[in-house]
């Protein structure tokens, strides 16, 4: 059953990333052609700023997943229900905070970009884009965590595939009919609202959850152990755009977003091969199957190294020729930035190489033990990005990210080797140099 679920997770995750890749290529190009780089940059920047509400999640997702592995492996739905009850309460409170945050952002963000857009134009767009985020936190995120912990991510993947395809079709039609960006984003938000609704229906049919149970607040109290990891992950994907928005220009945000769209899709493609593996490792650790875990980890590590080097080497070779074709006809800013592209690719490749070590650490629930490394990564990333953006613009922010990625990867490898699997750290170094030499 464990292998079967892992196969379904990988298969549907791969299909999802193909769909995301296609949508990610078509929609931004349509927005660039129809509305220009400034609007494309504005939409990207708003999404990134809205994402900061996720900091209040405080690492709850990872902590709750780790706490669910053991009761799920034993079929203890009483404990599962109590954990989910407290998690649901927490996220519903978070959703109410998000409303306040959304209203504040709808007033303050237009002031940041007032040189490029009128106040009400930006303010309304902030509220529209924020609708689907609110619904996700209020209705669906708790049950997504349950499906992830139970090695059933494939349900989430299938729902996302369907909504992405529907959204792509609708966006193409609306742009062809010359609708404005506000209407386009409003319809997209309404489409994505259906995701948590469908997940709720699936959970009610598939699980024997106890509604009238006492919440287990002890699990939520452990969230601060996972907070540093959550912040580090969050800032990895949000720092650069926010720094560029505040200290540079909205058009450079558009340039960044187009390159990051390509590189992040390569990253997500790699994640398809590891979808659901954390839950598998968590199940092995819960059953104390350490010997099997070491064997699976070595295979997992080898696979990640090979795939990462092949895909990112290919990306480095092809990205500039592709960008020349993709942005043809877009003349309001120069999109051909080779140095920026190569540094960005290097930082995301390093991020992918650390996946196996991060996965086992999370599956083992070692949040508290590794939070110092996460905090140091955050400090390096933010400080260097803010300082270097004044000297090197786009290149500056990704240099900060690259150095932070190098530090955290080395930290993870060292921690896992000494504290969980007790493996030889030299094996990682040898594998790294072999792949660099070969590719």
Give 365-407 pLDDT, tens digit per residue.
777 777 787 788 888 988 999 999 998 889 999 999 999 889 9
Provide the b/e sequence for 393-431 (b: ≥16 CB within 10 Å). bbbbbbbbbbbbbbbbbbbbbebbbeebeebeeeebeeb
pLDDT for position 320: 95
Angle formed by the axes of helices 153-176 and 2-35, nearest 10°: 20
Is pLDDT above 80 for 434? Answer: no
pLDDT for position 120: 92
Q: Which tokens hold the place of 235? A: 């800032």
Is 139 within 8 Å of 197 (Cβ atoms)?
yes
Per residue in 342-370, pLDDT tens?
Answer: 999 999 999 888 888 887 877 777 777 77
pLDDT for position 420: 74
Please give the residue that has the higher pLDDT: either 80 or 312.
Answer: 312
Average pLDDT on 215-223 reads 64
């Amino acid at each position: 059953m464990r292998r079967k679920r892992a196969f379904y997770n990988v298969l549907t995750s791969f299909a999802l990333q193909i769909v995301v890749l296609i949508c990610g290529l078509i929609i931004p190009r349509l927005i660039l052609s129809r509305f220009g780089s400034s609007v494309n940059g504005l939409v990207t920047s708003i999404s990134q700023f809205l994402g900061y509400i996720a900091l209040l999640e405080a690492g709850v997702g990872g902590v709750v997943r780790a706490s669910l592995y053991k009761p799920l492996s034993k079929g203890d739905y009483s404990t599962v229900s109590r954990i989910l009850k407290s998690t649901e309460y927490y996220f519903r409170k978070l959703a109410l905070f998000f409303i306040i945050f959304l209203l504040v952002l709808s007033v303050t963000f237009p002031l940041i970009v007032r040189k490029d857009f009128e106040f009400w134009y930006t303010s309304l767009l902030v509220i529209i884009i924020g609708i689907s985020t609110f619904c996700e936190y209020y209705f669906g995120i708790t049950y997504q965590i349950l499906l992830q912990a139970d090695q059933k991510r494939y349900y989430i993947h299938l729902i996302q595939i369907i909504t992405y395809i529907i959204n792509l079709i609708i966006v193409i039609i609306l742009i062809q009919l010359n609708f404005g960006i506000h209407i386009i984003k409003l319809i997209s938000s309404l489409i994505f609202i259906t995701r948590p609704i469908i997940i709720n229906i699936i959970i009610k049919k598939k699980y024997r959850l106890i509604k009238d149970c006492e919440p287990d607040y002890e699990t939520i109290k452990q969230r601060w152990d996972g907070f540093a990891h959550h912040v580090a992950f969050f800032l990895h994907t949000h720092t650069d755009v926010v720094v560029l928005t505040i200290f540079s220009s909205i058009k450079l945000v558009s340039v960044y977003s187009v390159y990051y769209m390509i590189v992040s899709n390569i990253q997500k493609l790699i994640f398809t091969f590891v979808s659901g593996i954390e839950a598998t490792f968590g199940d092995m650790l819960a059953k104390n199957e350490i010997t099997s875990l070491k064997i699976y980890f070595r295979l997992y590590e080898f696979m990640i190294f090979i795939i990462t080097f092949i895909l990112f080497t290919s990306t480095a070779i092809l990205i500039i020729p592709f960008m020349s074709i993709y942005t043809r006809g877009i003349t309001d800013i120069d999109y051909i930035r080779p140095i920026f592209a190569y540094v960005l690719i290097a930082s995301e490749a390093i991020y992918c190489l650390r996946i196996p070590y991060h996965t086992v650490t999370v599956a083992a629930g070692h949040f508290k033990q590794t939070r110092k490394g996460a905090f140091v990564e955050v400090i390096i990333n933010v400080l260097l990005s803010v300082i270097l953006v004044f000297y090197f613009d786009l290149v500056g922010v990704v240099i900060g990210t690259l150095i932070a990625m190098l530090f955290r990867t080395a930290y993870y490898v060292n921690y896992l080797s000494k504290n969980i699997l007790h493996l030889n750290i030299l094996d990682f170094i040898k594998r790294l140099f072999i792949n660099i030499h070969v590719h």
